[in-house]
Structure 1
Amino acid sequence: MAPPLIELAGATKRFPSGSGSVHTAVRDLDLTVGEGEFVAVVGPTGCGKSTTLSLVSGLQPASAGMVRVNGADVRSIPDGVGYMFQTDAVMPWRSVLDNVASGPRFRGVRKAEARARAADWIERVGLKGFEKYYPHQLSGGMRKRVALAQTLVTSPRILLMDEPFSALDVQTRALMQDELLRLWAGSDAAVIFVTHDLDEAIALADRVVVMTASPATVKDVFEVPLPRPRAVEELRLTEEFMGLYRQVWESLRTEVDKARERGAGNAA
């Protein structure tokens, strides 16, 4: 069996707080993700889901434990990582074409080749004809397509996605979910997808990881045995989907309740 592409073992991250104490965001976190595997991470608000992505990406070092990518300890940003944030990372002063070409250009690819790659991905995400437009001329869904093309144009081995579709309306979000699955299929990229939307997690992933209330650690892992390819909206109507939803929600609900009780206590 091939070793996992991503491996966290006992990973812990502590931050200094404003009061001089130490805040533990994640604690003793164990998680593996293999090549070509799509893993969704759900948990209460503020439990440390985004911190987990930061550890894998090398943007934050672990305070304790092990974080490895492709068999090597993560000490800086690993090669082959694509990161899609909740907020669009598009540059408003650049056209769609130049935004998507920026990743290859930063990696030393010549301008003509970078633009050719960008044009190919712009077409793949359904924005052919909008190459010369600027971000302020695009809808929210179109900007997300630009961000997706920006992320995929470098052919990442690992996709880290931090609630990338949360700001979209319901219909556009469903379209982007289908688009993501279509573009990811056959790429062999490992995906960690953080979301608050349990429907989204089950519809997209091979496994759903439920994290505890802060400090976060893995509580449960649920396999998603739904066949691929998937049409997200059709999938949500099936008995298999609804049965799995009830199982995952039962695990997640208790952690959401704990987080809410702690919040009420702190407010008091």
Structure 2
Amino acid sequence: MDSPLVELRGATKRFPTGTGGTHTAVRDLTLTLRHGEFVAVVGPTGCGKSTTLSLVSGLEPASAGEVLVNGAPVRGIPAGVGYMFQNDAVLPWRSVLDNVAAGPRYRGTPKGKAREQAREWVRRVGLGGFEGYYPHQLSGGMRKRVALAQTLVNEPSILLMDEPFSALDVQTRALMQDELLRLWSGTGAAVVFVTHDLEESVALADRVVVMTSSPATVKATFDVPLERPRKVEQVRLTREFLEIYREIWDSLREEVEKAREEQANRVA
């Protein structure tokens, strides 16, 4: 079996508070991710799911434990990592084509080659003909397609996604989920997809990781044995989907209720 692409070994992250204390965002995280695997991470709001991505990406160092990518400890941003945030990172003063070409240019690709790569990815995400448009001229779904092209043009081996479709309407969100699966298929990239939407996690992932209430650690991991390729709206109607959903929700619900109780106690 291939060695893990990403490993978190008892990883903990603490942040200083304004009162001189510390806040533990995640604790004793142990998780592995293999090449070509799609893993979704769910948990109560504010439990530390996004912090997990920050540890893998090198944007935040672990306070304790280890984070490894390709067997090497993460000491900065590892090579081959792509990050798609909840809020897209398109630059308003750049056209669609120039936004997508920016990544290759930063990596030293000559301008002509970078624009050629960008043009291909703009086409692949369904925006052919919109290369000269600017972000303010695009719908929310089109901006997400630009953000997806920005990420994939760099051919990442690890794709980190932090609730990337949460701001979209239901119909556009389903379209983008299908688009993500289509574009990811065959790339060999590993995906860590953070979401608050359990349906989304089951429809997309090979495995769903349930996090505990804050400070988060891994509570349980569930395999999703649904065949690929998948169409999101179709797979949601199947008996297999509903069975997996119910099983995971039974685990997640306990943590959501704990988080609500803790929040109520803090307010009181």
* Interval containing the TM-score (normalised by the shorter chain): over 0.9
Q: Within the alignment, does 1:138 sit opposite 2:116 as a pair? A: no
Match of 2:260 in 1: 260
Alignment of 1:112-261 (within 5 A): 112-261=112-261
SS in 2 for 1:225: coil
Q: For 1:16 and 1:50, locate their aligned partners in 2 and report how far apart those are by CA, in whole Å.
A: 17
> Match of 1:198, as an amino acid?
L
TM-score using structure 2 length: 1.00
Q: For 2:66 and 2:2, locate their aligned partners in 1 and report how far apart those are by CA, in whole Å.
A: 19
Unmatched runs of 5 consecutive residues or more in structure 2: none
Q: Within the alignment, does 1:72 sit opposite 2:77 as a pair? A: no
Q: For 2:106 and 2:21, locate their aligned partners in 1 and report how far apart those are by CA, in whole Å.
A: 39
Match of 1:83 in 2: 83
Match of 2:14 in 1: 14
SS in 2 for 1:209: strand
SS in 2 for 1:82: strand
Per the TM alignment, residue 2 of structure 1 is displaced from its structure 2 partner at its CA by 1.4
Match of 1:3 in 2: 3
SS in 2 for 1:40: strand
Per the TM alignment, residue 20 of structure 1 is displaced from its structure 2 partner at its CA by 1.2
Match of 1:34 in 2: 34
Match of 2:104 in 1: 104
Q: Report Cα offsets for 1:90-135 as digits up to 9, x if no partner.
A: 0000000000000000000000000000000000000000000000
> Match of 1:32, as an amino acid?
T
Per the TM alignment, residue 259 of structure 1 is displaced from its structure 2 partner at its CA by 0.4
Q: For 2:22 and 2:139, locate their aligned partners in 1 and report how far apart those are by CA, in whole Å.
A: 41
SS in 2 for 1:23: strand
Q: For 1:245 and 1:19, locate their aligned partners in 2 and report how far apart those are by CA, in whole Å.
A: 41
> Match of 1:96, as an amino acid?
V
SS in 2 for 1:229: coil
Runs of 4+ in 1 over 3 A off after TM superposition: none
> Match of 1:118, as an amino acid?
A
> Match of 2:202, as an amino acid?
I
SS in 2 for 1:175: helix
Q: For 2:124 and 2:195, locate their aligned partners in 1 and report how far apart those are by CA, in whole Å.
A: 24
Q: For 2:2 and 2:203, locate their aligned partners in 1 and report how far apart those are by CA, in whole Å.
A: 26
Q: Would you say how many aligned residue pairs link Structure 1 and Structure 2? A: 268
Q: Report Cα offsets for 1:133-187 as digits up to 9, x if no partner.
A: 0000000000000000000000000000000000000000000000000000011
Q: For 2:241 and 2:23, locate their aligned partners in 1 and report how far apart those are by CA, in whole Å.
A: 37
Per the TM alignment, residue 222 of structure 1 is displaced from its structure 2 partner at its CA by 0.3
Q: For 1:115 and 1:71, locate their aligned partners in 2 and report how far apart those are by CA, in whole Å.
A: 34
SS in 2 for 1:216: coil
